[in-house]
Amino acid sequence: MVLPRRRRRHVPPRTEPLAHATHANAVWCADFKGDFLLGDRSRCYPLTITDACCRPLLRCQGLPSTACEWARPVFESAFREYGLPEVLRTDNGAPFASAAVGGLTRLSIWWVKLGVRPERIDPGKPQQNGRHERMHETLKREACQPPSWSFRRQQLRFDAFRKTYNEERPHEALGQVTPASVYQPSLRTYPGRIAPLEYPDADQTCWVRPNGCIRWRGGEVYVGQVLAAEPVGVVQVADAEWQVVFGPVVLGTFAPGATGLRRPRR
């Protein structure tokens, strides 16, 4: 009488230690503050972005969804104003991560092409993004309770909170100075044109076909449709084993005759 449990696909585990925020723009943190209903019954999903070293709140934007088409313009606006970070740290939720190879999504693929390395905390470990979560507590208390009537009114509260948080309120971790007084934009500016990724150290560069496969020695190896029309690097790591990478992201390995990748384990 017990029905078999449907097998769920999980986001691949991260395989590298989390980066250290030793200077401004080394690590940006991003997350959606838990959604809530506005007075007009529409649902608001606040997307927040901070710099992990200097603690400024770079963006706090209320969105109607967590979909990539809503989130990407917020990141693009931040990149244009403040330049590019080295690492962007998020949790494992949409639109930042997926169960696809490398945990990649359309959003994180765009980051990689810009030269920004996606970094995910472990599932169920919000303390790994603790500085950002602490900011969320203050945001919820001062700008979300009670909710405003409409998106426009709620965004005005978010904008006022961001100004106060960055320019008026001293931060204990910064020696009681404001984040705006110590933060400097990145020297890596947002490019007008994104060039295709190159792999000078790889044994071969392969373009992912529309079916998610790369051609390899007369056969095909499935990489993932999320990377269709993107170049990947293939590097020999053993006598009969090759590793596939997309920028700095290791996708997995394969052996002769394999039709798919063996994903890296933690």
The pLDDT of residue 208 is above 70: yes
Adjacent-strand bridge partners of 62: 46
Give the Cα separation of 91 and 123 in Å (integer).
Answer: 7
The structural domains of the chain, with segments of one domain joined by +, span 27-182, 204-254
Residue 117 pLDDT = 96
> 130 with 21: CB under 8 angstroms?
no
Residue 6 in tokens: 């449907």
Residue 262 in tokens: 């063996």
Give the Cα separation of 77 and 75 in Å (integer).
Answer: 5
3-class DSSP assignment, residue 162: helix
Q: What backbone torsions phi and psi does residue 42 show, to the nearest 5 degrees?
A: -85, 155
The pLDDT of residue 16 is above 80: no
Confidence of residue 9 (pLDDT cuts 50, 70, 90): low
Adjacent-strand bridge partners of 60: 48
Give the Cα separation of 234 and 232 in Å (integer).
Answer: 7
Instruction: Render pLDDT for 127-182 as a digit per residue (tens, 0 to 9).
Output: 888 889 999 999 999 999 999 999 999 999 999 999 999 999 888 888 889 999 99
The correct CATH number of 27-182 out of 3.30.420.10, 3.40.50.880, 3.20.20.70, 1.10.10.10 is 3.30.420.10
The pLDDT of residue 66 is above 70: yes
Letter for the amino acid at 233?
G
